[in-house]
Amino acid sequence: MSKYEYENADLNLKFSEMGVSDITFVSDIEQRSYKYPWTKTIFSDCLSSGYLCTVANFNDKIIGYSIVSISKYDAQILNLCVDKDSRRLGFGEKIMDLLIEDIKSRGLNEIYLEVRSSNKKAISLYEKKGFELIGVRDNYYRDPNGREDAKVFFLNTKKIGYKQ
Ligand SMILES: CC(C)(COP(=O)(O)OP(=O)(O)OC[C@H]1O[C@@H](n2cnc3c(N)ncnc32)[C@H](O)[C@@H]1OP(=O)(O)O)[C@@H](O)C(=O)NCCC(=O)NCCS
């Protein structure tokens, strides 16, 4: 997909609740995107657990998705992914904007997420949206060379100066 095509078809980006029938497509994107991808069973469990599971469709094709756990006091973004061919076109940021709005509309302002410390692209997106580094979990993730730390990020949407 070219940047030109995206800029001329912005309105064709649609978000919908992930359904069981989406899991195959979502899982294909997941396998292409992560060293240790989630299984279809994990996505299925996310649906049955009542997590906020969203797919982003561009021109009627799933190009990204997100999974968010909502508790009484805060939200945790567990997965946010854009398919390889559709990256760097602004979709990741649009999915994040949608999540923040959705979480705020549920009366929640505190959002947490964890990310591999080597994942510079995702960290750049989170910092752009105002997330702050609040901690590190040592040796949290599996890695071909051993273990990798997780960086923990936090956003308070009520923070003075924060604007989407
Ligand atoms: C992280 C990810 C979701 C970004 O999606 P995307 O659609 O490419 O991101 P966008 O085009 O909306 O870019 C938004 C911001 O993200 C950051 N970013 C995205 N790609 C980047 C890259 N290749 N290098 C540096 N920063 C990057 C930038 O801050 C960018 O803002 P800018 O365009 O003003 O520089 C995508 O790379 C992805 O799905 N990666 C694999 C899955 C993953 O790692 N998810 C995060 C798990 S915690």
State the pTM of this model. Answer: 0.94
The number of the ligand 1 atom at minimal distance from the alpha carbon of 83 is 39
The DSSP code for 6 is H
Work out whether strand 110-116 and strand 75-82 pair parallel, antiparallel, or are unpaired.
Answer: parallel
Biggest CA–CA distance in the chain, Å, is 45
65: left (phi over 0), alpha (psi -120 to 50) or beta: beta
pLDDT for 59 equals 87
Q: Which residues line ligand 1 (CB under 6 A)?
A: 33, 80-82, 87-93, 115, 119, 121-122, 124-125, 128
Report CA(80)–ligand 1 centroid distance (Å): 10
Residue with tokens 């100066």: 161
Report CA(121)–ligand 1 centroid distance (Å): 5
**26-58 pLDDT, tens digit each:** 999 999 999 999 999 999 999 999 999 999 999
Report CA(20)–ligand 1 centroid distance (Å): 26
**Short-list 54, 119, 118, CA closest to 91:** 54
**Short-list 20, 58, 57, CA closest to 41:** 20
pLDDT at 139 over 90: yes
Domains, the chain, in order of start with CATH, read 3-156 (3.40.630.30)
**68-119 pLDDT, tens digit each:** 999 999 999 999 999 999 999 999 999 999 999 999 999 999 999 999 999 9
